[in-house]
């Protein structure tokens, strides 16, 4: 599980670059979250808030939203 501090630091670094999160940035965030093969409650909350509050390009938003959707589907089956 990635700590929320690691995720927050990664997001801050990405946003200071140009203020927009690209698909390449999203891949790095996704890898950090999925490093242990699951999305913890803490990671899910972080990701939901980041998607609401930050400037993602379309591909980045879709990629990280899919992480949340995939995790939700695990619990529905």
**Annotated domain spans of the chain:** 4-76
Whole-structure pTM value = 0.75
- In 3D, which of 35, 11, 6 has the Cα closest to residue 21? 11
- In 3D, which of 40, 19, 45, 43 has the Cα closest to residue 29? 43
Q: Which pLDDT does position 75 carry in this prediction?
A: 64
For the chain, give the mean pLDDT: 82
Q: Which residue did the predictor score with more confidence, 71 or 44?
A: 44
In the predicted structure, residue 34 carries a pLDDT above the cut 60: yes
């Amino acid at each position: 599980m990635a700590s929320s501090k690691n995720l927050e630091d990664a997001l801050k670094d990405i946003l200071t670059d140009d203020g927009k999160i690209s698909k390449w940035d999203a891949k790095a965030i996704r890898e950090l979250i999925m490093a242990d093969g699951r999305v913890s409650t803490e990671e899910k909350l972080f990701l939901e808030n980041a998607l609401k509050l930050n400037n993602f390009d379309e591909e980045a938003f879709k990629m990280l939203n899919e992480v949340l959707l995939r995790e939700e589907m695990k619990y529905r089956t």
